[in-house]
Structure 1
Amino acid sequence: MKKNILAAALFASTTMMWACGGNDKKDGGTMTTGENTMVDSTATTPAAGGAATGAALDTMSQNFAMTAASSDMLEIQSSNMAMQNGNSDRVKNFATTMIRDHGTTSTQLKTIASNKGITLPTDLMPPHKAMLDQLQGKTGKDFDKAYAAMQVTAHQAAVDLFQRASNGATDADLKNFATQHLPHLRMHLDSAQAINR
């Protein structure tokens, strides 16, 4: 229980970083908020010929893209674990949906980021890594229980992240991306809550 609370707190602090992006302390290509450090993609070289490049994007939009990319990786990696270590058909069916849907959003986000000169993370951010680590070494019913609880926490944070981007991102492509996928994330959250009972 304490691990779930800690993971949720770490995840919330990371997702809050993009919402408060304009107030982050910038130091040579990194942004530091509390204990979390993220790469500041404004330090990347702008894409040639593109008007809306990473250098031109606001910090809020960049942090949304980076956090969403890490969230997709968490969903895919944890769901691949569920296919191997899970016990129930409900969990495995949910995991199949997560792999498919988050694979789709990941591909779309990579295209948007590439067009804007944003360098997305290739590894999980620390809060997502902490959530994935909770599943390590678990199998069967123990895995199912931990996976379902993690999915609820992860999707609550993702819904919040995408809702804020849908309302407040200044980049039109990222705002549209968030708005387009928000209903799917809400459905995922409902499904995760159902398997967590």
Structure 2
Amino acid sequence: MNKKTFAAALIAGTTFLWACGNNDKKEGDNMTTGETTMSDTSSAAATAMSAADQDFAMTAASSDMLEIQSSNMAMQNASSERVKSFATTLIRDHGATSDQLKSIVMGKNVTLPADLMPKHKTMLDGLQGKKGKDFDKAYMELQVNNHQEAVNLFQNASTGLTNADLKGFATQHLPHLRMHLDSAQAINGGLK
């Protein structure tokens, strides 16, 4: 069989399997051959994520955006070099997790938010107009609160999600979030 014939057969076979997966038959129903059919999960359904998986992905993406946006504000408005150093770490780390999350959900019928979720927007808005020590304190309190929520979110996701890639993502990044939380609490406690 030459390459063109093989490719055509592969495409025809894939199309046939896709069509079988899109019918209304249930797993175990017989086709004309009397054989067990595929369940009605098409390739699109097989890659789709559960509602819980989607909620996690969207909340994690919004949380990353909050970390990056608030940390960019810290680079402009903070007075403490320790706060600015922490902000630099968050921009780097949460930028990397954002990129990884985007690649995980690509092609899985999930659209990550382009804007902050309302609760994250409210947190970011709380930093507006603050500068110097007032900003430092408000920023670090935001970081403590958001990282506590993120640790809980990722802890639950690492054991409760159905999508293996997202579950692995949550498990992989949970220790980093805990380190961020520890650092945020230490810096916040040292501010006057």
Q: TM-score range by the shorter chain?
A: 0.7 to 0.9
1:190 equivalent in structure 2:
182
**2:119 alignment partner AA:** P
| Moved segments of 4+, more than 6 Å | none
Deviation of the 1:58 alpha carbon = 1.1
2:117 equivalent in structure 1:
125
1:74 equivalent in structure 2:
66
More strand per residue: 1
Structure 1 unaligned segments of length 5 or more: list them: 1-47
2:34 equivalent in structure 1:
none
Distance (Å, rounded) in 2 between the aligned partners of 1:79 and 1:52: 37
Deviation of the 1:104 alpha carbon = 0.2
Largest Rg, 1 or 2:
2
Aligned residue-pair number: 148
1:53 equivalent in structure 2:
47
Distance (Å, rounded) in 2 between the aligned partners of 1:135 and 1:72: 16
Distance (Å, rounded) in 2 between the aligned partners of 1:80 and 1:138: 14
Tell me: higher relative CO, structure 1 or 2? Use CA pairs within 8 A at least 6 residues apart. 1
Distance (Å, rounded) in 2 between the aligned partners of 1:92 and 1:72: 17
Distance (Å, rounded) in 1 between the aligned partners of 2:127 and 2:61: 20
Report the TM-score when normalising by structure 1: 0.73
Relative to 1, partners in 2 of residues 1:52 and 1:85: Cα closer, same or farther, differing over 3 Å?
farther
Identical positions, percent: 72
Distance (Å, rounded) in 1 between the aligned partners of 2:46 and 2:64: 23
What are the equivalent positions in structure 2 for 1:73-152 lying under 5 Å apart?
73-152=65-144
Give me the CA root mean square deviation.
1.2
